[in-house]
Amino acid sequence: MSSTVKSSLRKQVANRLSYLSSNTISTQSINATNLITKQPFYENANSIALYMHLPDIELETNHLLAHALNSNKKVFLPRIEKLEKFNDYKRFEKQKSCLHFLSVSSMDQVNNFIPRGKYQIREPDYEPNMGNDMIHSDTKIDVLFLPAVAYTKDGRRLGHGGGFYDDFIKRYQTHFNHRPLLVGIGLEEQLIMNSQDILLEPHDECLDYVIVGNQFYKCHA
């Protein structure tokens, strides 16, 4: 899938999202949370990894985050770090940074995170000796919830272009010899009806489920 095609599709979805009101985004986010929390894969999960949403253009993940913490699930959130900080190995030629997932224990803690990076997303802090780092502490997760620009019903995903999640999944699998359930979540406007509009590349990870607004898809990509 060429970079030109990807760029065009990202612009198309961004245009759709630009027309959404904050109320529409909140309503879809609550609907998605209600749908997710009723699924057996979520109910049976002891540990999950989630992400902090981008305001005004992504499904609000704070509802699901609060539910998971209140349900006493182990919850991890991502932080972007330069490869050299922890001597993480380079997986592809232009890679300069990667994701680390850190556990969090309360919404009060989350609300005090400081925005970092290009998108000014709030990110968690490290505990002493990296005790809350998922891979460093050898803590497996049951479900990984992923963001995206666009999804298809059969589990194809178009990200923002950094390759962070595809890279993390491979690092996780290498370390644990285990693949968590992959669930893409988003807004209804992020669903692409023609699967062939998102062509898979060798490094792309296919999703097990896609949930956009109140729509639920079990994937067989």
Which CATH number characterizes residue 120's domain?
3.40.50.10420
Tokens 């991502």 belong to residue: 78
Q: Which helix (H) or strand (E) holds 61?
A: none
Strand, helix or coil for residue 36: helix
Q: What is the pLDDT, as a whole number, of residue 1? A: 60
Going by their DSSP bridges, the two strands 215-218 and 181-186 should be labelled as unpaired
Question: pTM for the full model?
Answer: 0.95
Kindly provide the residue ranges of all beta strands, DSSP E only, lying in the chain, ordered along the sequence: 47-49, 74-82, 97-104, 114-116, 121-123, 143-146, 150-151, 157-158, 181-186, 209-212, 215-218
pLDDT one digit per residue (tens) for the chain, 221 residues:
667 888 899 999 999 999 999 999 999 999 999 999 999 999 999 999 999 999 889 999 999 999 999 999 999 999 999 999 999 999 988 899 999 999 999 999 999 998 888 888 999 999 888 889 999 999 999 999 999 999 999 999 999 888 999 999 999 999 999 999 999 999 999 999 988 888 888 888 899 999 999 999 999 64
Please report, as a single letter, which amino acid is at residue 157: R
| C-alpha dihedral sign at 52, 29, 19, 11 | positive
Residue 195 · residue 152 · CB < 8 Å: yes
- Locate tokens 């699967």: which residue? 195
Please list the residues that pair with 82 across neighbouring strands.
97
Domain count, the chain: 1
Query: Residue 122 is encoded by which pair of tokens?
Result: 């709030």
Structural domain boundaries enclosing 190: 3-218
Q: What is the sign, positive or negative, of the torsion defined by CA atoms of 153, 10, 170, 34?
A: negative
pLDDT at residue 56 in the model: 86
> For 117-161, where are the E strands, in sequence order?
121-123, 143-146, 150-151, 157-158
pLDDT at residue number 187: 98
pLDDT at 200: 81
pLDDT score for 73: 98
Sign of CA dihedral 23, 29, 33, 36: positive
For the record, the structure tokens of 218 come out as 């079990």
